[in-house]
């Protein structure tokens, strides 16, 4: 299968007889038939959890936590949790407000990336908590004990929220509606009869 680039979706827009470009690629519709859940339960819960996870990540960076200053493991893992949470929230919120059917290029940018982005934040949160606890155990809570404790709690609950997104994200199911494959159309076009061009 050929590797797709970010502009491949433009091939799915074809001009009709009026010169207006219409989308002819694959589309996806949310499948709720076998889940017993409504749209809010399927998409709203991950969206809410993503906002919660991002809020915990932001709050962790706002408070003056002692070991966020100059401690690479804590800072880098926190950055991963913040970036992962932000990307997850973008995907989840776009999915929640998107109307069916979803075009393929939007599907690839949201549904396909929801769980991987959530795992980035889970890993970030998962590393920052034990790393910060290590410094707290070894050197104490620092000058502002409340900030260190809040940092650990925010990161912990942020990680739980992100992990739940990975669980709910795997349960989201879409039904694909294939579009027109223009490459196949070209391949299936009849070839000229060689007898018509034979020199007698």
pLDDT band of 199, cuts 50, 70, 90: very low
In a domain, 107, yes or no: yes
Structure tokens at 39: 């749209």
In a domain, 16, yes or no: yes
Residues facing 111 on adjacent strands: none
Angstrom distance (rounded) from CA 120 to CA 87: 9
**Domain containing residue 127: CATH number:** 1.20.120
In a domain, 78, yes or no: yes
In a domain, 163, yes or no: yes
* Tens of pLDDT, residues 98-125: 988 898 889 999 999 999 999 999 999 9
Tell me the residue range of the domain where 25 lies.
8-175
In a domain, 153, yes or no: yes
- CA dist list (Å): 136 to 59, 140, 146, 149: 19, 4, 12, 9
Angstrom distance (rounded) from CA 196 to CA 185: 23
* Tens of pLDDT, residues 30-80: 998 877 788 888 999 999 999 999 999 999 999 999 888 878 999 999 999
Mean pLDDT of 143-161: 94
Whether the Cβ atoms of residue 154 and residue 81 lie closer than 8 Å to each other: no
In a domain, 53, yes or no: yes
In a domain, 28, yes or no: yes
Number of domains in the chain: 1
In a domain, 197, yes or no: no
């Amino acid at each position: 299968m050929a590797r797709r680039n970010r502009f491949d979706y433009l091939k799915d827009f074809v001009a009709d007889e009026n010169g207006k470009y219409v989308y002819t690629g694959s589309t996806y519709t949310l499948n709720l038939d076998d889940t017993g859940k409504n749209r809010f339960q399927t998409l709203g819960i991950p969206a809410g959890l993503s906002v919660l996870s991002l809020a915990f990540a932001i709050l962790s960076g706002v408070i003056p936590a002692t070991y966020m200053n100059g401690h690479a493991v804590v800072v880098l893992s926190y950055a991963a949790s913040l970036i992962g949470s932000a990307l997850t929230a973008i995907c989840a919120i776009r999915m929640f407000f998107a109307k069916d059917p979803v075009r393929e290029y939007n599907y690839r940018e949201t549904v396909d990336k929801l769980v991987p982005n959530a795992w980035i934040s889970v890993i970030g949160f998962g590393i920052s908590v034990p790393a910060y606890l290590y410094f707290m155990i070894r050197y104490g809570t620092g000058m502002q004990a409340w900030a260190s404790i809040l940092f650990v709690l925010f990161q912990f609950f942020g990680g739980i929220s992100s992990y739940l997104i990975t669980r709910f994200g795997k349960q989201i199911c879409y039904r694909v509606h294939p579009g027109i494959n223009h490459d196949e159309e070209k391949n299936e076009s009849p070839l000229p009869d060689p007898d018509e061009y034979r020199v007698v």
